[in-house]
Chains A and B, each alone.
Chain A
């Protein structure tokens, strides 16, 4: 059974519908992310779970106990929900030392002094901050303040940890480091995490499951790989990773493959995608790493207009008629700008031609 259960949650601010019927369930020890662009309602969902915001409709249960039920007028205040929360701004109390910050939730629960000292020492050890107990937040770096905020949320071993873009104020290097640490800390403590972010790399790297949100709704809820490989809607496809679109005509399909025609001439054969649009006109959507350069006369003819180095490989922009296709290649493949090339694609999804203007259009 889920540690957190959210059902048909809805919340509006005046005319703005922030959350529009969201349901999900977080399992024990699970790292669960809400991912989506700015303003899609992630924070509002999280704050409803925390009790900092009162939803308009739906149910929320934490550790098997209902904390919010619109139909019964139940709304347990945040301090009685048994949660730990980390804010984007850290919200470390400037007038308390590191020790006092982390000890605060324990003191509120009237845990004996000796127990508090031991518990805080344990948390500081997990966070690698032993020795900084008496520092004030103003004497800490951003990354250290972040850890204090995390430690405060962990201290009581709550039913669930709620994190709202906790890493977005850190620089790129530190963010990557904290990502790994957060994962390790979760493994050590075994706490389930509800994580809010707009950074897909972060969500893909850390989560057990991701709910991708758009305009207050969950479009796709699945493990990261499935979200990447088989995005449920055009919005998810477009939002996660990068993707090339090529208008084609569906020439034929059997159980295992489809054949497409580009400009009525060049033929493309692909493994059959999970979803086939009804009409003959389709939009082929394929990731840059699904494309590669072809030798000989196979594939689609184009011209390389730009080459950029990405460390692990090169990205080429290949002009194909009116469209441009991005092709990712390993380091050993070298093509120069201006060169005429042929490219082939190994897998992709098929959308209806107008799918890009309809975020909810089916993709897989």
Chain B
């Protein structure tokens, strides 16, 4: 077995192609060219359309569109409403998120996993469903309103779900998971020695939490809060169901209104205002995340930090948290189910009033059936296309170290910061009468491109993170074992990337399946989505049918949500083990 014994195939010693020839056949260049076209069509071109058309009137540069926005008081008010409603909702969401994250992560309450799953659940439930659920709970003849009337004997309830207060409240109870998730994970990853240092100095636990722990997770709190703020500005379903009826408009609903007229230039200019709002928020987000780096107290390891013993407070805290979860997560869904099986909204709960008629009539409408199929197809297709393309982009930037590919990465992340209404307007502008290619407006393909644009960031971030975790020596070991580049890709890189790809697909599927803000602007007959159709039924007063359709989609969302939870748990366990 000495070195000389195994003869190697003779090779022409100098048989290597010159550099220029290698450059042409280098697979990275071809890949990059194809992906560049893809990102240009789905992201860059539509964005250029909005930005360009907002300042062009009759073929000349002009700010007339913006002037038109500010000429009308209605528009002013919508801008202002968007800002203040999102701000107040964010403050409330932050309070709920921080307190619940702290209770679940750092105190001795029981059933933590159950609480965690229920607290994150609103993340997966479409905001439209929550809005509908809250109407059915707290609306004029809602369950809570009836209960209040029964208890107090008064006809007037001291709240109004329609209008600004309702919008703020429902935004807060649907957007707090952003804060919960970021703060809970920061609390979990915090270096325990920081707290232990205080503990050895004799500081009591609750003071450690107040003086050490909370200040250290502040960056996580602000980045979670900013995500909640951006999501609130972006939202359409909640202000549409709860606001429009009370003549309370925000930017997203105002754009919807402008497009039903339709006033395209106005919608375009208002989209640019939303972009401005989004940019300001994103700068804030970057700052907050930069702050997190500066502290550098979050160790990348899973540890079991000290737990605050609640003592005699424990039962009260647990009951309070359980009631809150019941109210926030369980009751709205319960109301949806109830509405879907009672003859009319507010009917007494007796056998005679129970019916499946809403399900039957909802499903006999061809458009609703189409909507379900379209949504399943679009969500699945957007997921597959995005997982494949973003894996390739991440492969170019992370593994092939292809410098130029970073523009794909940057361009692909931008739509994440853009409110859905902007994407909707961009799609209409780009695909109504494109200079080349078919008119996609009026087909479901415009929805597919819109979802691809909107969720490209999810794919990019997940696949990039996964690829970065695949240490380069794993691939080099295969190279030195005799495998060629493609073989390494197939045997090592792809199998290790697969869990990340599955996770990205699930995340994109759930998000696209629940999408409403964009869809409601660009759907057409034949190209309906389930969300749009539920909204239309709710908006035209058929809340029973709307609820029936919503209830039908819940199992899909629920199964995928649990799958997502399971995948992340799996991922965490694997990461924990490979460190140990």
* A residues at B contact (CB < 8 Å): 3, 28-29, 50-52, 63, 65-66, 69, 72-85, 87-89, 91-95, 104-105, 108-109, 138, 149, 152-153, 156-160, 162, 189-192
The answer to whether the Cβ of B478 comes within 8 Å of any Cβ in the partner chain is yes
Please indicate the chain B residues that have their CB under 8 angstroms from the CB of A50 in the complex.
476, 480
* A84–B477 alpha-carbon span in the complex (Å): 9
Interchain CA distance A12-B577 in the complex, whole Å: 37
Q: Is the CB of B471 within 8 A of A89?
A: yes
Instruction: Give 25 pairs: A residue, B residue, CB < 8 Å, sorted on A.
Output: A51-B479, A52-B479, A52-B480, A63-B3, A65-B11, A73-B18, A76-B11, A76-B16, A77-B484, A77-B485, A80-B482, A84-B481, A87-B476, A91-B471, A93-B478, A105-B481, A105-B482, A108-B483, A138-B577, A152-B481, A156-B481, A157-B6, A158-B3, A191-B1, A191-B3
A157 to B1, CA, bound (A): 7
Given known A-B contacts A105-B482, A108-B487, A138-B577, A80 and B11 have beta carbons under 8 A apart: yes
Q: Give Cα A66–Cα B16 distance, bound, in whole angstroms.
A: 12
Query: Which residue on chain A has the smallest CB distance to residue B492?
Result: A93
Q: What residue in chain A is nearest B5 (Cβ atoms)?
A: A157
CB neighbours (8 Å) of B492 from chain A are: 93
B8 and A79 contacting across the interface, CB-CB below 8 Å = no
Interchain CB contact under 8 A, B1 and A72: no
B200 within 8 A of A: no
Checking B4, B11, B474 against A93 with a beta-carbon cut-off of 8 angstroms, the contacting residue is B474
11 additional A-B pairs beyond A77-B485, A79-B482, A156-B481, beta carbons within 8 Å, are A69-B14, A76-B11, A79-B479, A79-B480, A79-B481, A82-B8, A93-B478, A104-B478, A104-B483, A159-B3, A189-B1
Interface string of B259-285 (1 = CB under 8 A from A): 000000000000000000000000000
Return the chain A residue nearest B12 by Cβ: A74
Whether a CB of chain A sits under 8 angstroms from the CB of B113 is no
- Nearest chain A CB to B106 CB, angstrom units: 29
10 closest Cβ pairs, A-B complex: A91-B473, A105-B481, A85-B480, A91-B477, A78-B479, A87-B473, A108-B482, A159-B3, A157-B1, A79-B482
Judge whether B495 is part of the interface by a CB distance below 8 angstroms: yes
User: How far does the alpha carbon of A85 sit from the alpha carbon of B475 in the complex, in Å?
Assistant: 12
Residues 1-24 of chain B, each 1 if its beta carbon lies under 8 Å from chain A, else 0: 111111010010110101100000
> Could you tell me the distance between the alpha carbons of A28 and B3 in the complex, rounded to whole angstroms?
7
Partner of B8, one of A65, A77, A89, A108: A65
> Cα distance A158–B8 when bound, in Å?
10
Are A85 and B477 also in contact (CB < 8 A) when A73-B18, A192-B3 are? yes
Residues of the A chain whose Cβ atoms lie less than 8 Å from the Cβ of B539: none
Which residue of A has the minimal Cβ distance to B15? Answer: A74
B-chain residues with CB within 8 Å of residue A77 when the two chains form the complex: 479, 484-485
CB neighbours (8 Å) of B118 from chain A are none
B578 within 8 A of A: yes
CB distance from A206 to the nearest CB of B (A): 19
Q: How far is the CA of A74 from the CA of B12 in the complex (A)?
A: 10
Give the Cβ gap from A217 to chain B, nearest Cβ, in Å. Answer: 26
Determine whether B496 belongs to the interface, using a CB cutoff of 8 Å to chain A. Answer: yes
Q: Report if B491 contacts A (CB, 8 A).
A: yes
With most chain B CB atoms within 10 A of its CB, the pick from A73, A77, A79 is A79
